[in-house]
């Protein structure tokens, strides 16, 4: 385990006992709350091109949501030169950072978080984004007043689709898996939530097809943050509130 990292785990029953009445709404950020997936695609495409790799944008799009190292390995395979991974990742970070002051949240993203907080949900963000990106993403969302905590990509040993980011988000929220709902836009989000035993809600705002999200374990699917906000009273959130 590298310095500064720790293995994520599900909270124990004893840790969660005092907060059993608390519910946690766990949210991915990229493609779910902030409209960044296609910016990532362009940045990765150029980073790969600089390293001599031609990777179709459609292929990159389907990999968005993985952490940088996992994304590179997923797209280039075992026959790549791993010594060049760091340089490719650094190029993506540099290229994507050019958009930091222009990132835009999806309509009603902040209102969705505030509405859930008003209903008694503890809001924790669970993302593959590293610390360098989080400031820009949080500014775009503009809802720091209701965000209780963040489980970032730099905080866990294994990123999505491993359940580690979701386990860490549960730990930070202080609730067990059965008292949480996870909202994301990628197949990796759905797989991570399912592996962690958390209800998985998918948004189509990331650009992936409904069938892919269903196959990855989505319990419910909505068009975007606006659609979920409008239908909260019939969603997985409302059903958990009734128990």
For 97-108, write each residue's pLDDT tens digit: 999 999 999 999
pLDDT by residue (tens digit) across 85-141?
999 999 999 999 999 999 999 999 999 999 999 999 999 999 888 777 899 999 999
pLDDT of 3 over the 80 cut:
no
pLDDT of residue 122: 97
pLDDT of residue 139: 96
pLDDT of 23 over the 60 cut:
yes
3-state secondary structure 131-184: HHHHHHHHHHHCCCCCEEEEECHHHCCCCCCCCHHHHHHHHHHCCCHHHEEEEE
Domains of the chain by residue range: 21-35+103-241, 37-98
pLDDT by residue (tens digit) across 68-81?
999 999 999 999 99
Q: Is 242 helix (H, G, I), strand (E, B) or coil?
A: coil
Q: Residue 104: which residues within 8 A CB-CB, separation 6 or more?
A: 34, 35, 140
CATH class of the region 21-35+103-241: alpha beta
pTM of the entire predicted model:
0.89
pLDDT of residue 10: 55
Sheet holding 220-222, edge to edge: 147-151, 121-126, 23-27, 180-184, 199-203, 220-222
Structural element, H or E, at residue 101: none
- Burial of residue 66 (CB within 10 Å: 0-12, 13-18, 19+) is buried
Q: Which residues pair with 64 in a beta bridge?
A: 66
């Amino acid at each position: 385990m590298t310095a500064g990292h720790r293995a994520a785990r599900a909270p124990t029953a004893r840790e969660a006992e005092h907060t059993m009445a608390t519910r946690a709404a766990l949210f991915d950020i990229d493609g779910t709350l902030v409209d960044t997936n296609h910016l990532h695609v362009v940045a990765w495409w150029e980073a790969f091109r600089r390293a001599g790799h031609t990777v179709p944008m459609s292929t990159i799009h389907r990999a968005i949501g993985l952490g940088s190292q996992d994304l590179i390995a997923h797209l280039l395979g075992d026959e790549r030169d791993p010594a060049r991974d760091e340089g490719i990742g650094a190029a993506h970070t540099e290229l994507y950072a050019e958009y930091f002051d222009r990132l835009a949240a999806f309509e009603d993203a902040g209102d969705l978080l505030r509405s859930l907080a008003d209903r008694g949900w503890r809001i924790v963000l669970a993302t593959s984004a590293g610390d360098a990106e989080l400031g820009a993403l949080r500014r775009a969302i503009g809802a720091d007043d209701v965000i209780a905590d963040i489980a970032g990509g730099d905080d866990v040993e294994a990123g999505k689709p491993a359940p580690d980011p979701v386990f860490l988000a549960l730990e930070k929220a202080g609730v067990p898996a059965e008292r949480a709902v996870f909202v994301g836009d990628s197949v990796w989000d759905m797989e991570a939530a399912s592996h962690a035993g958390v209800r998985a809600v998918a948004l189509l705002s990331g650009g992936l097809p409904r069938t892919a999200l269903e196959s990855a374990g989505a319990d419910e699917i909505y068009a975007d943050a606006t659609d979920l906000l409008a239908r909260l009273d019939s969603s997985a959130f409302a059903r958990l509130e009734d128990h």
